[in-house]
Chains A and B, each alone.
Chain A
């Protein structure tokens, strides 16, 4: 059995009478025969009583304390002492600066008392000359002590205030650090995203440059091909002129018009005799089915020697390969239409 086998919890249970009997008997014995156990037990008991006075005990321990521990007058005396002792220690801690000042004053008082006891000596009259200055010194020292106490109090207060500010600043600093981390993380994310975007843009740029190069090559090739081919007449007329003579009453031979691809218009010049008509009108029909394909507005004849010419401007696409007939009519002064000539022709492309 060793006193070190018992921790504070067991000692408290022993002091509160809640330890099992066998263990309690062991503690009984150790409390008398073992010096270190007895010392520890007393220390734990003092702390237990102080804790009770401070209201730090609760639950089962509090019940046991009140039902068992306080049942003894001697132990109640310990509690009563602990209450006063707690007040005393708190006063001592608070009033230490005042006591320091008092001890300074008592240190001053002692020499003064000594001087008074030696007042009969012949040279004491000489020392008495210093009495008033010393009194002033005493008051001065006491005042200084008081000022020191006040200054000490102010320093304590100031320290607490500054400590509060430091704590607040530390909290703020921690918050700012956290914010800085977040921002750095955001910047990093942004940087990563930008890098990706830049890579995409670079890839796109490379593709575009490639396409551009290809186009340049194609252009160059086209240019070279163009140089190699014979020059074409870019001013090639998109108009083709055909002169059509009117059919006679007999069977006439149909004229053939060859219209190459790319021809925009076919200008048909209709020969007619001199007449007195105010104007003329022409109709284009398909010879195969007599379908009216085109009809002109009022036409004016122009003179060429003894004959007159009427120009018809037809879209070349209107004239598909096949046989056609144009009927030329004259508009009389009264506005009536009179048939004048027929012009038959064959279109070949």
Chain B
């Protein structure tokens, strides 16, 4: 048997993905703490399968402005990771790292762009390592690209990419808190179908 859509996933499969989400979020929180030189607490992440419309609503509606960061997974596991950061969260990060906030225009200058990109890089690395540690598969992440725009427009990118697979995506919602840092953070983890099969097979779980 092979996976064709996310509907083929049973409870055990979903538990595995949840566990990846949990480990990834835990790693991301410690990475963030060392980068910001401040303790960062993380609530238990909420992991769910949602359709795009639901994700939009959770994030404040299709026209809500958001900072989107997109990376690709390459290697044994292929797919996409997308971070959806509220502008408050991006501002908190920039305050901690650079002592400045987002420019009023909403346009990032080069310095802010690099700082946010680096944070995304580290956080995505945490999720990639979670997959790798758990399964023994090896994977890399690409350099993150960033886009500040309406949630709906940003979500059209994974929606198009995964249109043939599913109208649902694995949605992880974390609440990071720490000094000057208190904002929800959202991660979309989207391995392709073949990679999902590899993850399960390597863990000895039947498809």
Do A and B assemble together? Answer: no
List residues of chain A with CB under 8 Å of any chain B CB.
none
